[in-house]
Amino acid sequence: MGSPPLARRLLTLEHMEHSNGRWIRLTPNNIAALPNAEGVFEIANLVRSVQYVGRACGRLRDTLTDFGHLPRSLPSSVGGYFFRFELTTAETETLQRRIEAYRKRHDGAVPPGNRGQVIELVEPVRLAPAPSTDEAQQAA
């Protein structure tokens, strides 16, 4: 009798993201030991499936402290949550890189906690304001 079919193929090692950041249990004591600096962080469940990717906006410790009330979009995790972080002055670019790496491994999906959020672009597109009615009439 063979093994039951998997709902999804398992990833091979070469397709898994390797990171130097070690996973740390998300607790007030561990957060208090962090620098209050610029960076990007990931939050994962007990088996280290990434649930949310965020940026610190220059305040890593404060952001994760405020994160004590996890977004409602995150599924509950019986074993608690873990986090890892990367200190960087290029938060937007690093955030986008982490989200894209996740999407490549998960058929284009974003982490559960990031669903419904607008992910900032590296270079935001500035739209020109629509001309007022008077300006449009004068141009005609």
Could you tell me what percent of the chain has a pLDDT over 70? 61
> Is-above-0.75 flag for pTM?
no
Q: Which fold has domain 20-125?
A: GIY-YIG endonuclease (3.40.1440)
Task: Summarize pLDDT for 124-139 with one digit per residue, the tens.
Answer: 334 444 455 555 555 5
Domain regions of the chain by residue span: 20-125
CA distances from 119 to 33, 49, 62, 123 (A): 28, 20, 21, 12
Using alpha carbons only, give the angle 38, 43, 46 rounded to the nearest 5 degrees. 150
